[in-house]
Structure 1
Amino acid sequence: MSESPTFAAAALPPEDLRALEAFRQSAQMTVMVGADGSVLAVSPAALAELPALEHSSAWTVFGATGADPAQLCVEAGRRGWAGGAMQLQTATGRAWFSLDVRATHDPLGGAPAYVINLSDLSTHRALEARASQSERTLQLVLKVAPVALLISDRQDGRLLFATAAASRLLALPEDAHGDVVARLYAAHADHDAMRSAIGAGDTYGPVDVEGRAFNGAALSLRISAVPCVYEGRLAIVTTLLDIDEVRRSERALQAALEHERDLNQLQRRFVSMLSHEFRVPLAVIDSSAQRMMRKAYDMSADDIRKRGVRIRAAVARLTETVDTLLEDARMAEGSLEFSPRRIDLIPLMRAIIQQQAELQLRPRIEFAHDESLKVDADPFMVEHMFANLLSNAVKYAPDSDCVWVGAGQQGDRAEIVVRDQGVGIPAGELQQICNRFFRASTSAGIPGTGLGLHLVRQLAERHGGELRLDSAAGAGTTATLSLPIHQAPR
């Protein structure tokens, strides 16, 4: 390149001198070139960044990746201006620049010339790359987000993006297109209200609407929407919440809370029952033992026998309580073994009646039965069921003369009936009487665990049978235990 002409200060008018000084001090990268690419003038900033301009044609320096500088100058000659971008070799490496080309004339000779302003695009492109990466990351995050979310074009409603959760909820096909959100609304007025709110720049919802998925399934949805810009276009972000799922969760939570309350109530009943059921027999045993220790030499044989009977009855009560608790625990955890075999109920029931009569002289027990009553049953469980029903009848009818027991076959089932004339069960409590630790209000002052009938019902159902109760307060109780004659193979 020829050396820049030396200008004598006196040869230039003041305005030109000022323009020349401004050019020299400018931080802008500016180059003036002729039509053949010769460099007519170059700013210090451009020369520092592109030192090759000092000895090479502009077309050579600019002949890298990107726009054609010669073609940009031709276009600028036609239109007065042209622009483009190219990658150039700078003093520190390769970088991208934008080119702003404007047509002018060489002030020295008047020949056509072009002023090229260059702007470094490195920072801009880095920001674009970061923005692009951020957008891809955001889309990936949204795609796997557990939220049902749709992004649609604000003008025509066309679907632009859907999360996986939204695709599952709406049964969206792979090629879903068009206004997907509009299809969700059963009522067009609801969709119009949403579009109107978004069009005014407002948020919409949450609003509960009834709609349908793409497979025709009915949906109850809670919809919210906000305006946004997505990939450079005006869009709508719509979030969807399955109200049915929310309601199911609410019902499950409510059931869990009720179960927790029931457990707390059971615990209180259990502690109350246990303290009473253990304290009374232990007090009887302790007082009888102390009496025998203090008066052993003065007590008659009949007195000792009576004390022994009281002690045995108290021990039997404790043993029954412990056995009942253990059996209930094994039943609850499914570890109580069920071993049915062919047994005759009559001898088993007669033995239990005899044991009860020895412990309790009244009321009298009448037993009416078939000559033989054979069933497929677990003898341990049957013994427990009948002993519980019989002891209840005796315990809750202490002032009656008789407890009636019957056993016979009814079709393909064996029925055991125990009837007393005791305190009975109020009608409003019959539905709860077989619940764990529940005791009728008429049983106040009478010892019991509240587990007996609960276990009888559980054991009867284990056999494929049932327990039926007919009772009224003050009118006694009739308990009917029904068991199948034959057990189906398991």
Structure 2
Amino acid sequence: MTWASTTVIVLTILAATATVLIGRQLNRLEAERDASTAAADILAAVAEDVRTTADSATAEASAGVRASEVGAAFPEGVADSSAVRARDSAQPVLDDSGEGVVVVASYDTAVTPATVQERRDHVVAYAVVPLDLAGTLLTMKPSEGGIAVAGPDRQVMSVPDHRPSDAAFQTVDLGSGTTSGWTLTVWTTPPQTPAVAWLIALGLGLTGTAAAGWMALRRERDRRSRDDLLRLQEASATVAELATVAQHSLDLAEVLPAVSAELGAALGLRGLSVGVPSADGERLLFVWGERPDNVPADHHPRDEVGAGDTIALVLSRGGRLAARLLVVAGRRLTGPDLRTLFAAGDVLTSALANAEMYSQQSELLKRMRSVDELKTVFLATASHELRTPVVAITGYAQVLTMRLDELTPEQTRMYVERVDANAQRLGALVEDLLDFSKLERGTDVEDHAPLDLGEVVSRILEEQPDLAPDHLVSHSTVRGLGVIGSRLAVDRVVSNLVGNAAKYSPAGSAIRVRVQAAHGRAELIVDDEGSGVPHDEREQIFSRFFRGHGDVVVRTSGAGLGLAIVSEFAASMGGQVSVADADGGGARFVVSYPLAASRAEPSRGATDADT
């Protein structure tokens, strides 16, 4: 809708609203005039009723009627102030108690006392006469309104009881003297807004809406004509731009977003996706904007596609399916738009083929660089880890050689033990490097044969009590879980996992090794009481040469091969390795092996040992 149409509608609404408001205001002014006229007519009648009641009360007081004798209190139901004024003034006094009363004082003298003090001394009774205004108010009440009489402090009578909030009213004083402070309120209810006002407003609204609609339709026709011309001009520019994008980049990460943005801007698309053939049928390669529904391919251009509809194009080259392009139209696509889309598909086909070839070459180059970097890291890490124990062994050996006669037996034993510890460390590292070299070449370290996993793990732990000499190592195994593999592979997995648990958990803490059946597989589980493995490192921890970044890792040595070797040896037997949190804290490493044909029913082993 244009600003002109909007202006017409706004002015129409304002004119219609003004018409209705003016009609309502005229009705209210008429109601206020009626209330004012009725108030003037009713005022005289109400004032006359008040004077009549006052005269009646005075006559009763003069006749000596003792309506309420003077005692310790004023007359019941009458304000004290009203009784005091009646006594001191010797005049009738209106009181707004109940529905209004007239109070007159009686004295025991032949004539009314002249002074206030004399009146107070000679008052003997009070005449209290109710005001009877109900008949007058009911008779004089406007047919579409009401009357209310109020005293100085409260309203004493209203016909009817409630005055509408939208009523037009007129309030006048009843006069001075006896009725001083009393008011009369007359109200009338304004009639509904005249039908003629609503008809005029409706006519204005319809006229304005029709005018705005006509202006909008005319502008829409003009806009569509201009848009069709503009799309014809943009079609050729779009194809040329896509060809330029395809020629200037061979990276799919650049080509697909650029092509999507260009097509989306040129054709007003809400979304598109590109799928490429795969072994499972089709793999989604790229999505831009709203993801299209899966629809059959269109091999020939349609005449038109509605907004929100999905169209599929098959992109092929040399008789081979290259990809499938799904497009969600954001607006109505006409014939020229669809021809542009098919032409853009041809350009995209070439771009995909070239970009795919470039991606493959880039990936190959990246892998070659990664291998080169891996070798560099390996050489640096291995050199450092080999040099450290060699330097220590050489140093302690020189001390023993040069100062053997000067050393006490205890000192000699200490240096010999240090030489032995570093030699064992060097031997373990060399063994890891040899294992790594074999696994890297894909050489089987031993022929595979059926094994009882629980029995093999128990023997390894019993034969190697020094795997974690500073920790409490316990094991619990289930016998009869058959797997296919080599004892050496299981040995390398167990020794590396137990050694890793000992390295990263406090001395004296427990290391628990279990073999059990779970989910149709055999599981080897190693729990420790260390600090555990951070979640963000769990995917990398089994990579070669990877070491964490925590304080515990920094304080320990290693080449980052142990867990990688565990993963490789487990994989050689069809196993999988994972890490989680242990029940009591620390890390839990789980190696899951596929079961072979069991040689016997699994039975709980009674081999719980501490090392």
What TM-score, normalized to structure 2? 0.40
Task: Choose between structure 1 and 2: higher strand proportion.
Answer: 1
RCO comparison, higher one (Cα < 8 Å, 6+): 2
What TM-score, normalized to structure 1? 0.49
